[in-house]
Amino acid sequence: MPPSIQGEGGSAALFRVAVVLVRGFNLPPDAASPLLEHWNRAFSRPVWTDAELRHKLRDADRSGHMPYGHLLQDDESAGSTGYRHRPLYRSSQPVRTRPTEPPAMDPAEQRAKHTFFPLTDADEARIVALRHVTPGMVHLFKNKGLLHNTRVDGQTCWCLVEDTFAQARRYDGGLLRTARGPTKARTLAGSRGSFFGRSFLTRGRPPVLMVEGVVGLLEAASAIDLADAPWVPLAAVTAGATFTRDPRMLELLRGRRVRILPDEGEAGRNGAATWHAELRVAGAQVDVIELPAIRNDRANLLADPQAHARSLQLLFAD
């Protein structure tokens, strides 16, 4: 594997090694730590700190794309070539897997499980105040069928819905229960999908602003609205989303201009690097933009667009 050299993709190189350890060889991050430290001393220039290494292992465990135990092949898997693969380390722990997702629902099943009802004018105003998004985009999302109300945990929530994916948030910004603990956004049972915003890509071929997070679609659309730019939004559901799981989405972006605004942090930038590579292969004209003045945070931009007018201009610059 290539070394981690500052200025030459060193962060991505270290992340790949971390993925191999915690996913390919199925090592828990604490067991992988001394191995990554050894590799770091030998192949990183400059070396990464212990805190940075721990952070990279956590990111690899959470958002890496390699299946757990992928490199722990049995000898019998060598096939007829006669090559016998023996891993450097064979974990004594059972292979970890992602929690099994429920099967995708067709629209009728989804409607039966989740009851959606329309937003009132007052609801639209509450979302505008809560997220600093533009009233025009909230109304557009409502009219396009992307924005509804639903009930979750006894609370009336606003919900972004497209095809077989739905994610709810409370109007007061409070937390909702999930299997992984309380969170501000709850993806509803039966949801499937890696990308959100397909309905914006079916008419014409305008440039695409790609962001991370379902609510990011509404925020990106509001930034487009503020700039009066002839662009359309697209959101990856998480930093771990990949186009290999949604080839039809990749086909919609083939040959188009796409600009990625990554979330701040290693996971966000690793996700952006993956999408950039996949889109380049598909022939898209793709770039990744960094906006230090707002720390790549769309909420900062929308909260005070006048103060961040320069960042808004750069976001859609040629």
Query: Which residues neighbour 59 within 8 Å (Cβ) at sequence distance 6 or greater?
Result: 15, 18, 266, 267, 270
* Dihedral angle computed from the Cα positions of residues 296, 229, 219 and 130, in that order, rounded to the nearest 10 degrees: 110
The pLDDT assigned to 181 comes to: 87
With cut-offs at 50, 70 and 90, classify the pLDDT of residue 80.
very low
State the Cα–Cα distance between residues 73 and 67, nearest whole angstrom. 12
pLDDT in tens, 267-285: 888 999 999 999 999 999 9
Using a cut of 0.75, tell me whether the model's pTM lies above it. no
pLDDT tens digits, 168-189: 999 999 999 888 889 999 999 8
Residue 63 has pLDDT above 80, yes or no: no
CA 269 to chain centre: 10
Quick check: 72 and 25 in contact, CB under 8 A? Answer: yes
